[in-house]
Amino acid sequence: MAGEIYEEFGDGIMSAIDYDVKLAQPPDQKGARGRITMSGKFLSYKRY
């Protein structure tokens, strides 16, 4: 997952201060499945 964040946004981290997690159970013919969606503010890495 960290590699995916870097490829999409560049150097930085996802903040856990303003953070939301959603859980869902999407329908699937193969059996029970789960979906986890995490949403947080992206904080870019800055050099000073």
Q: Tell me, what's the pLDDT at 2?
A: 57
Q: Tell me, what's the pLDDT at 17?
A: 84
Helices (H) and strands (E) in the chain, counts: 1, 2
What tokens appear for 25 in the block? 């159970």
What's the number of domains the chain is made of?
Answer: 1
Q: Where are the beta strands (DSSP E) in 1-48?
A: 12-24, 35-44
pTM for the whole thing? Answer: 0.56
Q: Which domain holds residue 39?
A: 2-44
Q: Tell me, what's the pLDDT at 34?
A: 93
**1-48 per-position pLDDT tens digit:** 556 777 777 888 888 888 899 999 999 899 999 999 988 888 888 777
Q: Tell me, what's the pLDDT at 35?
A: 93
CATH of the domain at 20: 3.30.1160.10
Pick from 38, 47, 41: which is nearest to 13 by CA? 41
**Spatial distance between the Cα atoms of 35 and 2, rounded to a whole number of angstroms:** 18
